[in-house]
Structure 1
Amino acid sequence: MTTHPLHVKGQSAKEFYDRAGKYCGSYGLTAETGDCDPGYYCPEGQTVATPANYSCPLGYFCVGGKELPEPCASGTYQDEPIQSTCKTCPAGFYCNATFGPVINYATYICPEGFFCPDGTRYPEEFPCPEGTFNNRTGLNSTSECSECVGGMACDVEGLTYPIRPCSAGYFCRQSADSTTPSLGSLADQCPAGSYCPVETAEPIGCPEGSYSSAMALQMESQCINCTGGLTAVFGQCLPGFYCPVGSKVSTEIICTAGAYCPIGTENPVPCPAGKYSDVGGLRYYCPNGSSVETQIICPAAMHCPTGSATPQECPAGMFVDYDGAAACSVCPEGYYCVPELSIEGNSASAKNICPMGFFCPNGTGHDWQPCPAGTYGLSQGLKKAEDLDSMYRRTIL
């Protein structure tokens, strides 16, 4: 290490080292010349502000005037040398510096079940919330998490697939955050006049000749048969009619256009926004499989939950290949299912065979699984890694 004599007034010349983080740029100084420049660090004994042997390395930052470089913290990275600051980890990735500073953020893609906004520090820092799931990598925000599908509940954070069925006595149209949800029209107790077995997406009405004034029925046998042998009318107002106070029959007044009247209606219920009725006596609105006012059957490759104004695309990893579907099913293994390739009314477009070089387990959307190192796939429609062939070597003589 090179040293320089610093002249001290009133004393004989002595030799001193400059302090760490400083440098001495010439001979005969009584104090250090100045701080080490940003992008560099200066152990004791430096002669320039930018010592070539002490430039700030990858993964670190050097603000200047420091003895040692400082590592970039979690949520940041640095892929360039001689820098005075760290870069923010971009959305869709995480930068975990627990075991050392991050240089290449691209190796840390956000995992399934989670999303990673700018500055994410750890892979499981931001789980998709209850009522949603995610089977894709690299998500940026919670809005990219998929809503829980019909008949299923997503009752824990960070799910890659819905795993629990909706409990008996409840219906789960979408976004259910519990197996016994209370989300109103999206997911709730089975309404009066209906029953809901396990994994119900839409309540099932009690059959003709029966009724139920109770909620949360679990099976058809719990519907009550209408009582016979009566000499006077007694009971709830029938569907399609309403019975104000003083009504004497179960069909007192027919339901008016622009409203609907389920069982036991005292006054007509106005059709909610986005729904309509142009006839009187309406019992239900937008039944399963309907998409428009003329109750056109829902086309293949689409699904139509109750109340749909138009057919809905299935989310990535889900499909339906028949007419009249109210909910989507999980994409079968050997195929991938993405909404941009689905064509309304074309059942064949609902699922696409897994391409060569990849395998596609159940629920595959955009996330085809590449053949791992040491294997290859020469055929389409592979379902799992075990279907792949081992790589062989060809010897050329």
Structure 2
Amino acid sequence: MAGYVCPVGSSSPHARSNACPPGTFSNHLHLFDKSQCETCPARFVCTRGTGGKQKPPVPCPVGHYCPPGTKYPAQYKCAPGTWSNRTSLASEEECLPCPAGWFCVAGAHVPSGRCSPGHYCPDGTRTSTQFPCPAGTYSTRLGNGRVEDCIACPVGSYCTDGTSKPTLCPVGTYRKEQGAKVSEDCVPCPGGYHCPELGTVAPQACGAGRFSDPGSASCLSCLVGHYCADEITSREAMLLAMVCPAGLLCPEGQAVAPDANGNACPRGYYCPRGDIVRGSVWLLLFTILSSSGLCFWEARVESVLLLESLPALGCLIFLLWFP
């Protein structure tokens, strides 16, 4: 029987053990040894027992190629990045490169899918994410075929490799230029400004009477003993250059340079420079006035000395320091 051999002592012409092995065939009768089976020709598949009209060699399937001696249909797949919609290929070189904008897995008989957003797929691409858009660029589209299809990351954002949706710069930072690659490319908001929203493009000035540190998402009221006359006052400028002069009183949120008309020290008080350390030193001075039997109490609080009289029996000077 074609496709089989009948060695001495065979009891059946259809015994599986007597079939021509996979990768071979025979159209002849009266064979007695498997070595007489012929190698399967290129472009065809020969499974076990191939031969004759009842089981001829099968054409190589689409997405595959079949060199001589091919044993089963899926033995030789077109490589990843290639495809074929034709049958009876003999070599890998006959598989076609995957077209730009698509990717092709192994054994594809049609391109396997469109290139993923945030990526591009030149000819011969194997997976949808093989070629990510470079850092500093992004793409929301399917099916990009060239790196030039990736566009610059927008202002207020940064784009790492393979970005399909830009990431907004965090609060307290901003980005005026396109093409940021990592979060560190977002610039800390400068002192005197604030960046309250994700994706800030231009910092917002704090305004008079307020200040901020670098990297701030919000501004603070100007500190007692200082003034914030500029629209963009930083903490450093406030502490070093905008100190309330001696003899004047600057409350929280002072928005203009103090003067004697609007900021004079109240009657019965005295006002040292505003940069005297506040809240750290209390000076209590008890003085006995022998003629009246009264004690005058002076306490330094927020750079203002209060004067009150209290009954007392003796004279005491007491100095307390707090860290």
CA distance in 2, matches of 1:250, 1:154: 47
In structure 2, the CA distance between the partners of 1:240 and 1:113, relative to structure 1 (3 Å rule), is closer
The alpha-carbon deviation at position 264 of structure 1 amounts to 5.9
Alignment of 1:1-397 (within 5 A): 12-13=54-55, 18-25=60-67, 31-50=73-92, 52=94, 54-69=96-111, 70-79=113-122, 81-85=123-127, 86-94=130-138, 96=139, 98-105=141-148, 108-122=151-165, 125-162=166-203, 164-178=204-218, 181=219, 188-197=220-229, 199-201=231-233, 202-203=237-238, 204-212=242-250, 214-219=251-256, 224-228=263-267, 230=268, 234=269, 239-240=275-276, 243-247=281-285, 263=303, 267=321
The alpha-carbon deviation at position 15 of structure 1 amounts to 8.6
Letter in 1 for 2:199: G
CA deviation profile, 1:79-111 (whole Å, cap 9, x unmatched): 4x33434123322222x2524224124852323
Gaps of 5+ in 2: 1-42, 287-295, 306-319
CA distance in 2, matches of 1:216, 1:73: 54
The CA RMSD over aligned residues, in Å, is 4.3
CA distance in 1, matches of 2:257, 2:247: 12
Instruction: Report how many aligned residue pairs link the two structures.
Output: 243
SS in 1 for 2:168: coil
CA distance in 2, matches of 1:133, 1:167: 18
CA deviation profile, 1:214-264 (whole Å, cap 9, x unmatched): 533444579642123x4xxx56776547742524699999xxxxxxx9836
SS in 2 for 1:171: strand
Letter in 2 for 1:190: C
Structure index of larger Rg: 2
The alpha-carbon deviation at position 166 of structure 1 amounts to 0.8
Letter in 2 for 1:226: C
Judging by fraction of residues, say which structure has more strand: 2
CA distance in 2, matches of 1:28, 1:126: 52
Letter in 2 for 1:189: S
In structure 2, the CA distance between the partners of 1:4 and 1:200, relative to structure 1 (3 Å rule), is closer
| TM-score w.r.t. length of structure 2 | 0.58
- Seq. identity, %: 24
Letter in 1 for 2:173: T
The alpha-carbon deviation at position 75 of structure 1 amounts to 2.9
In structure 2, the CA distance between the partners of 1:135 and 1:28, relative to structure 1 (3 Å rule), is closer
Is the contact made by 1:169 and 1:197 (CA closer than 8 Å) also made in structure 2?
yes
Q: Name 1:331's counterpart in structure 2.
A: none
Letter in 1 for 2:266: T
Q: Name 2:30's counterpart in structure 1.
A: none
In structure 2, the CA distance between the partners of 1:131 and 1:46, relative to structure 1 (3 Å rule), is farther
Is the contact made by 1:40 and 1:51 (CA closer than 8 Å) also made in structure 2?
no
| TM-score w.r.t. length of structure 1 | 0.49
SS in 1 for 2:82: coil
SS in 2 for 1:246: strand
Letter in 1 for 2:109: E
